[in-house]
A and B are shown apart, each in its own frame.
Chain A
Amino acid sequence: RKEVEQDPGPFNVPEGATVAFNCTYSNSASQSFFWYRQDCRKEPKLLMSVYSSGNEDGRFTAQLNRASQYISLLIRDSKLSDSATYLCVVNPNAGGTSYGKLTFGQGTILTVHP
């Protein structure tokens, strides 16, 4: 089983649509969770961290379910500029030599069309 698994998509949605991505992780001791965004042929960049209580940043909402080891990202009112690959990222441990290491999912491709 992969440490971090995502549905690779692609998701093709019209502008204005709401789209949700899901991600599961295998290590129940994982401490920190993130969504990164990667544009075509560019480097990944942090989109948002994911907190246990859920968090929102504008049109983006992230949720964490520790019991199910499940993370989600909801994008409302999709824009053309949201087209990208969304990477689910997990920090598997909080301490020792694992500190700072991240495990990346393979990414979910989103295309928003007019």
Chain B
Amino acid sequence: DADVTQTPRNRITKTGKRIMLECSQTKGHDRMYWYRQDPGLGLRLIYYSFDVKDINKGEISDGYSVSRQAQAKFSLSLESAIPNQTALYFCATSGLGAGDNEQFFGPGTRLTVL
């Protein structure tokens, strides 16, 4: 079984709709991240959380919100989706130790906003 899972894997929605993307992990990591990936722009950080009570904005948080329901779960919401939020979204996790820089990614959610 995958260590980091994301649901849904694909979603098509309309402008103005509320969307929630979910991420779960079984790695026991404290740190979780949400990224979006667009062609030519690479991965950009939306939000990150270093533990259940910690939420931080990344470089492109406008139009998004997150919830860290438990150590293992980190969800991303688009309150009112717009077409330029069409992208591939990745959740990632990392450990807490000094050497734990490696991030482990989920399989991604492909979101299309019409």
Q: Which residues of A contact B (CB under 8 A)?
A: 4, 8, 32, 34, 41-46, 49, 87, 91, 97, 100-102, 104-107
Contacts and interface: CB of A to CB of B under 8 A. Distances in A.
Contact of A32 (B90, B101, B108): B101
B103 interface: yes
A28 to B, nearest CB: 18
Interface residues of B, number: 22
Interface in B74-114: 90, 94, 100-103, 105-108
A80 B14 CA distance: 40
Contacts, number: 47
Contacts of B101: 32, 34, 49, 91, 100, 102
Nearest to B31: A100
27 contacts: A4-B42, A8-B40, A32-B101, A34-B101, A34-B102, A44-B43, A44-B90, A44-B105, A45-B105, A46-B102, A87-B42, A91-B101, A97-B50, A100-B48, A100-B100, A101-B45, A101-B48, A102-B45, A102-B101, A102-B103, A104-B35, A104-B42, A104-B43, A104-B44, A105-B42, A106-B40, A106-B41
Interface of B: 31, 33, 35, 40-45, 48, 50, 56, 90, 94, 100-103, 105-108
Contacts of A45: 105
A4 B41 CA distance: 11
Given A32-B101, A87-B43, A100-B101, A43 B94 contact: no
A78 B9 CA distance: 32
Contacts of A87: 42-43
Given A43-B108, A106-B41, 8 more contacts: A42-B108, A46-B103, A87-B42, A100-B94, A100-B101, A104-B44, A106-B40, A106-B42
